[in-house]
Structure 1
């Protein structure tokens, strides 16, 4: 998408505004498929938590995608938009046994990541196929909050607990049909990924009725000009060869599964916000926008960097700005960033705003959440209406405190 199209959408739908480029999502999906075309059976489970809008889920469904879900509500979203239960995997953490049983009853693939629940579920439902999430104890990811495969992580069953795990499976007679891992996000070093894959293979050999191996995801995307990213082609070449060799050793063909979220939708997303005020202090020029971490929390939460462009003045002389929000706390999107000269009323565009942006938004400060638009076949389509004050009031009950 170009800046003229984005400005047009801001004028048509207002701001702040999230925009997603459907063609970019499709091309990312096809890129991953091509990179692993040498694998006999590939399954792509889109991570719903990255961007859960129904229209985006429907777009990926048409491409043949399956879903990776982490809550019963995400499962219900997938079913609502037309995914069949066999195209959904459910990988929760710390949820109740009741929720897991409810999802299993829907026919969705269950993925369990702790010994206690595994034993309880296996004892009650030994014939229900279960995937096991292991913790390979591999430190990977660009931030401690998104590195989930290290030794102190709350996610997965430790590979050092394998004897206990095998004993539970034997005692319950439960059916294990998949092994899963996820080391973290923003992985650059392919060798680290391949090292963790070997641990997955070593675990899988203990189970004789597997149907798939799920390698998680965590592919890094570029966040700024000339930024580095995961070499998907190299990973596809190396992992496909090793996976095919393992299948030969195992004695039958398995499905290789991934669960990409950011990789599929991050670069497709744009966040548009209007500059309310340009404020000069003794040392800093602030550009204050009509948004805050209630709409885009990643820079404050993860320290992530989003490329910011003044699409109202793209060829203007660059100056240094700190871009901040209107929340009544420090909500800094960027400090001393070179951006084309900004004036009040200009529209700023935050790139790489497709993943974990709207989905992590809130009504903090009682602000409404923005609209979402899908750019498809040369036209902007509204896929979520902007919230109103009535949405803030909805479900709240004013207690009558009148003293009788």
Structure 2
């Protein structure tokens, strides 16, 4: 997308505003598919927690994507968007057996990640096809909050508990159709991914009737100039060869599944905010925008860096700014960042705002959530309206009016 398009959308729909480039989402999907074209059975399940707008789900469905969901609400959104139940994969963590049973009744693929629930579910529903999430005990990911395959992680069944797991399966006679792992997000070294894959292959040998192996995702995308990203093409070449060899060894052609979220939508997203104030202090120039961590929390929560551009004056002289929000706490998006000279009323564009940005937004300080726009075929399509005061009041209940006298 070009700056003039973003400026036009900010003028048309107001700020703050999320904008998503449909062409970039489609190109990332095609890139991943091409990288693994040597695998006969490949399935891409979009990790919808990254960005769960129904229009985005429908866009990916048209390309052939399935869904990776982590809650019953995400399952319901997927069904609402038009996905068939057998195209939805449900991988919860720490939920009740009752929620899993409710989702099972919807006909989606269940993925269980702890022994207690596995035994309870297998005892009651031995014929239901179940996937098992393995914890490979591999430290991977760009931040402790998104490293989920290490030994102290709450996610998955420890690979060292495999004998116990197999005993539960044998005792309940349950139907295990898949093995799953996810080591973490922002994986740089594909050798770490390949190492974890070998652990999954070894675990898979304990189950005779598998239909698929799910390798999760965690592919890193570039967040700044010359940033490192996961080499999808090299991973595709190496893992495809190993996966095909394992299928021969296993004696059955399996489906290879990935669950990309950030990889598909991160670079497609732009967050647009207007500069409310430019404030000079003794040592710092602050650019205060009409947003805060209520709309984009990643820089504060993960320490992530989003490239910021002044699209109102992109060729102005660069100065150093600290970009901050309007929340009544420290909400700094960038410290001493070189940006084209900023004036009050300018529109700043934050890049890589497609994944875990709007989906983590809140109404903190009673601020409204922003609108979302999908840029497709040279046009902007509103896919979520700006919230209003009525949205804040929805579901709140006032104290009852009483006429009693004291």
Answer yes or no: same fold by TM over 0.5.
yes
Q: Deviations over 1:345-393 (max 9, x none)?
A: 0000000000000000000000000000000000000000000011001
Calculate the TM-score normalised by the size of structure 1. Answer: 0.99
Q: RMSD of the alignment, in Å? A: 0.7
SS at structure 1 position matched to 2:230: coil
1:77 aligns with 2:72: no
**Where does residue 215 of structure 1 map in the other structure?**
215
SS at structure 1 position matched to 2:306: coil
User: Partners in 2 of 1:226 and 1:191 — Cα distance?
Assistant: 21
**Where does residue 260 of structure 1 map in the other structure?**
260
SS at structure 1 position matched to 2:247: helix
SS at structure 2 position matched to 1:233: helix
**Where does residue 285 of structure 1 map in the other structure?**
285
Per-residue deviation, 1:224: 0.6
User: Partners in 2 of 1:4 and 1:378 — Cα distance?
Assistant: 12
**Alignment: residue pair count:** 404
1:189 aligns with 2:189: yes
SS at structure 1 position matched to 2:52: coil
Per-residue deviation, 1:401: 6.6
SS at structure 1 position matched to 2:61: helix
Q: Deviations over 1:223-270 (max 9, x none)?
A: 011111000000000000000000000001000000000000000000
Give structure 2 stretches of 5+ with no counterpart. Answer: none
Per-residue deviation, 1:400: 2.5
User: Partners in 2 of 1:335 and 1:213 — Cα distance?
Assistant: 43
Give structure 1 stretches of 5+ with no counterpart. Answer: none
Where do residues 107-122 of structure 1 align in structure 2 (5 Å cutoff)?
107-122=107-122
**Where does residue 26 of structure 1 map in the other structure?**
26
**Where does residue 97 of structure 1 map in the other structure?**
97
SS at structure 2 position matched to 1:234: helix
User: Partners in 2 of 1:283 and 1:143 — Cα distance?
Assistant: 31
Where do residues 279-318 of structure 1 align in structure 2 (5 Å cutoff)?
279-318=279-318
Q: Deviations over 1:319-346 (max 9, x none)?
A: 1000000000000000010000000000
Where do residues 154-169 of structure 1 align in structure 2 (5 Å cutoff)?
154-169=154-169
Q: Deviations over 1:52-84 (max 9, x none)?
A: 000000000000000000000100111011100
1:13 aligns with 2:17: no
User: Partners in 1 of 2:236 and 2:109 — Cα distance?
Assistant: 25
User: Partners in 2 of 1:39 and 1:332 — Cα distance?
Assistant: 44
Calculate the TM-score normalised by the size of structure 2. Answer: 0.99
